[in-house]
Amino acid sequence: MINKQPSTVSKILFLQLLVALLVGVLFAIMEDWLAAFYAFWGGAIGFIPNLYLALKIKTVQGQEAKIIVRTFYAGESGKLLLTAFLFIITFHQLPNIKLLPLMTGYVSVLSIFWFALILRE
């Protein structure tokens, strides 16, 4: 029987999405829907580039090390550019930005990496 356990990367991405939703819900309860939107959007700004990197790395599974490393560096560069692009779009296109919820959502999603390192099995 094949064990179809989710990968560590899949677990981290799932937790990041869950945290983005939870932070949005908390801001909806504590403030208003606009704050909730920006909290979730901040989480999405952290999540989307990580999803991009995970999908990019997955395409080279089983390849030789040189290809994996090259893809990893290209993926990290793309992730940084995508993050910058999402923040630029946010600050130039979205009205009435609520910075505290936005950054709380973003940092909360990124903190999943720290906890994953601390709690890994």
Give the pTM: 0.88
Mean pLDDT of 16-28: 98
How do the domains of the chain map onto residue ranges? Answer: 8-119
pLDDT band of 39, cuts 50, 70, 90 = very high
In SS3 terms, the chain reads as CCCCCCCHHHHHHHHHHHHHHHHHHHHHHHCCHHHHHHHHHHHHHHHHHHHHHHHHHHCCCCCCHHHHHHHHHHHHHHHHHHHHHHHHHHHHHCCCCCHHHHHHHHHHHHHHHHHHHHHCC
pLDDT band of 112, cuts 50, 70, 90 = very high
The reported pLDDT for the residue numbered 3 is 63
The reported pLDDT for the residue numbered 6 is 80
The reported pLDDT for the residue numbered 5 is 82
Mean pLDDT of 60-69: 88
pLDDT at 120 over 80: no
pLDDT band of 25, cuts 50, 70, 90 = very high
